[in-house]
Amino acid sequence: MSTYGDAAEDAMFVRTYTVTRGRTRPRHLMALDTVLEAGPGRPGPGQAGECEEILTLCREHRRSVTELAGRLDRPVTAVKILVSDLLDAHALVVSVTDAYASSDADADADADADADADRRPTTHLLAALSAGLKRKWPDAIAYPQAG
């Protein structure tokens, strides 16, 4: 006996399967708290409408994967797959947070900011490192817990 709730759940599953084009794992490894922001690229013409929603949300301000999934009312894995597509198109970039930031109680933080900036990797360096690793090991298997 099928109820309306079961039919709605089945429709949601089919829609998610269609949105991700049958893929079940993202190409990029990202955690639930990975923070994303809009990049210079644009999504491809064949990408799902949810991709535009993700970009709109990330243009407002940085968003985590979990927040995007909640706002879109989609499973996290499906959102990770869409985010992977947008990362490939350079429409989204992973926001590199300031791991060296000191607490607000440090009055000397501003004075040392320029010195710390020279020691942090730039996004260009990280992108070059990623590209180099992909060239070095093109057949590497993605981390199994990426999805």
Q: State residue 139's pLDDT score.
A: 79
Specify the amino acid at residue 37. E
pLDDT value of position 123 = 77
Residue-level pLDDT at 109 = 52
Residue 20: inside a domain, yes or no?
A: yes
Per-residue confidence in pLDDT tens, the chain, 147 aa? 445 555 555 555 556 777 777 787 888 888 888 999 999 988 877 777 788 999 999 999 999 999 999 999 888 999 999 999 999 999 999 987 654 444 444 445 555 555 555 566 777 777 777 777 788 887 776 655 444
- For 18, the domain range is 11-136
- Cα–Cα distances (Å) from 7 to 13, 50, 122, in that order, read 10, 22, 49
Residue 75 lies in a domain: yes
56 is a domain residue = yes
* Number of DSSP helices (H) and strands (E) in the chain, helices first: 6, 3
Kindly state whether residue 147 falls inside one of the protein's structural domains: no
Please report whether residue 74 resides in a domain.
yes
- pLDDT at position 79 is 92
Structure tokens at 58: 């990330």
Q: Look at residue 71 and tell me if it is in a domain.
A: yes
Q: What is the residue whose two structure tokens read 């992977």?
A: 84
Residue 142 is assigned to a structural domain of this protein: no
pTM: 0.58
Residue 143 in domain: no
Number of domains in the chain: 1
pLDDT at residue number 112: 55
Residue 100, amino acid: Y
